[in-house]
Amino acid sequence: MSKVALVTGGSRGIGRAIALALAEKGWSVAVNYRSGAQAAEETVQAIRSAGGTARAIQADISLAEDRKRLVQETLTAFGRIDLLVNNAGMAPRVRADLLEMGEESYDEVLATNLKGPFFLTQMVARQMIERPTRSDGAPAMIVNIGSTSATTSSTSRGEYCLSKAGMGMMTALFADRLAAHGILVYEVRPGIIETDMTAVVQEKYDRMIEGGLLPLSRWGKAEDVARAVVAIAEGALPYSTGEIIHVDGGFHLRRL
């Protein structure tokens, strides 16, 4: 029986790269998306034409009913979940100064980036506890896609920073709670990655990178993040849990 991964927001960007890279290693992948059915179908077709197994599942992870259906449909399709990748996330629809940010945006971003992943993880963890070991003997795992924004202030998207800081503690909490069951929890923390999410600030970030912002002076690619997730999923860190892997060209380093 193959290994089964549920990748939230697997239709585009970083999530798509993760879904494709896992499928290449033989994982069956549930490709979740919110509203972009065509992109999700393209990801699924790309996996299938390379000989892999995947299925697109629509669900808004900020909604409790959708999360429940997402888990049920994944289990119906594949029978188990060995790896949950909490990748789906959103930037604020409007970049508003911290003193102007509205409660509506705060609620939406926190519900999508923190509350949704938290309660989805709770639900999947209960399933994993029933089957904490994969068919190849490796442990079940959860990988959260955090962000450098967990520790980097951006005053024009404070709600995003708060959501990712919260995810950092979410990683620690589930790592602690699930260790006794042999389930491993990690966070992959990307820096500036070239996707639809960062397209709106491309020129600004181009200038900042050219000006020396990053030790490794280039934009990150979705595939850079996917490589870290696959390394974890394939068992590269068996005696680590709660670990944060930075995929940010060294941006998190303090420099003088």
Which residues are designated catalytic? 160
Backbone φ/ψ region at 182: left (φ over 0), alpha (ψ -120 to 50), beta: left
At residue 32, φ and ψ (nearest 5 deg) are: -85, 150
Q: Contact, 167 vs 149, CB < 8 A?
A: no
Q: Which residue has the tokens 């239709």?
A: 11
The answer to whether 104 contacts ligand NAP (rule: CB under 6 A) is no
The answer to whether 193 contacts ligand NAP (rule: CB under 6 A) is yes
* Rounded least distance, CB 253 to ligand NAP, Å: 17
- Assign 57 to helix, strand or coil: strand
Size of the site for ligand NAP (CB under 6 A): 30
Site track for ligand NAP across 38-57, x = CB under 6 A: -x------------------
- Per 3-state DSSP, what percentage of the chain is helix, strand, and coil (rounded to 5)? 45, 15, 40
CA 29/CA 46 separation, integer angstroms:
12
Q: Contact, 87 vs 145, CB < 8 A?
A: yes
The answer to whether 15 contacts ligand NAP (rule: CB under 6 A) is yes
Q: Which residue lies nearer to ligand NAP by CB, 132 or 194?
A: 194
CA 194/CA 151 separation, integer angstroms:
20
Site for ligand NAP in 53-92 (CB under 6 A): 60-62, 87-90
The answer to whether 107 contacts ligand NAP (rule: CB under 6 A) is no
The answer to whether 198 contacts ligand NAP (rule: CB under 6 A) is yes
The answer to whether 147 contacts ligand NAP (rule: CB under 6 A) is yes
Interface with ligand NAP by CB under 6 A: which residues? 8-9, 11-15, 32-36, 39, 60-62, 87-90, 112, 145, 147, 190, 192-193, 195-198
